[in-house]
Amino acid sequence: MAGDPSKASLWADADVYLAEELTTPNPATVAAAFSSEWGLVGLLDGEAGFEEGRAEDKSDHYAWGGILIRTSRKNFKMTKKFIALEDNPHVRGLVYPGSTGTEIVVPRHGPRKIAFEVRDGERIERLITRRFAVVDTIGTIKDGEDELKKFEVTVSIFPDGGGVLFDRQSTDDEEPETP
């Protein structure tokens, strides 16, 4: 059989971390814990997972006779979506920023750092925004007697000046130990 089955991903657990300050340092390595400056979103909908969306404008350019000679692409946008299951201060800060425990105000979403971490046993992968993310949309929030309250959050990822969206940390990239 060709390929490496250990590189196929089926993640048993995941977390989303948030940092209000854009200068909040990332953990030094995938083995290092997030500092107390990072908040934990809490329980996530594992079946929904982390959904990544990409959009860009594409234009095909043709010469006379209908010969395709070039394709241009611009206006790239990446989004990441997740569903939070806890109603806690970090989730409320995403859904209703500026609100308090006693008042809900019109949301004004500002930039923040965000990190997505997935785990399966000893295998870990993190994507940490290089620049920042901003909440793009919040899905419908439903209170009911037969379903968990869910907060569907979609964030837009903003790259740095070099086009880097995320800093990636992964146990897959670590050097194997020598016996």
Residue pLDDT, tens place only, 37-60: 999 999 999 999 999 999 999 999
pLDDT higher than 70, residue 85: yes
pLDDT digits (tens, 9 = 90+) for 70-80: 999 999 999 99
pLDDT digits (tens, 9 = 90+) for 19-34: 999 999 999 999 999 9
Can you read off the two tokens belonging to residue 91?
């989730």
pLDDT of residue 175: 54
pLDDT digits (tens, 9 = 90+) for 96-152: 999 988 899 999 999 999 999 999 989 999 999 999 999 999 999 999 999 999 999
pLDDT higher than 50, residue 62: yes
- pTM of the full structure: 0.89
Q: Which of 77, 101, 108, 75 is nearest to 87 (CA)?
A: 101
Q: Where exactly are the structural domains of the chain?
A: 37-171
**23-56 as b/e, with b when 16 or more CB fall inside 10 Å?**
ebebbeebeeebeeebbebeebeeeeebeeeeee
- For the chain, give the number of residues: 179
Can you read off the two tokens belonging to residue 127?
């994507």
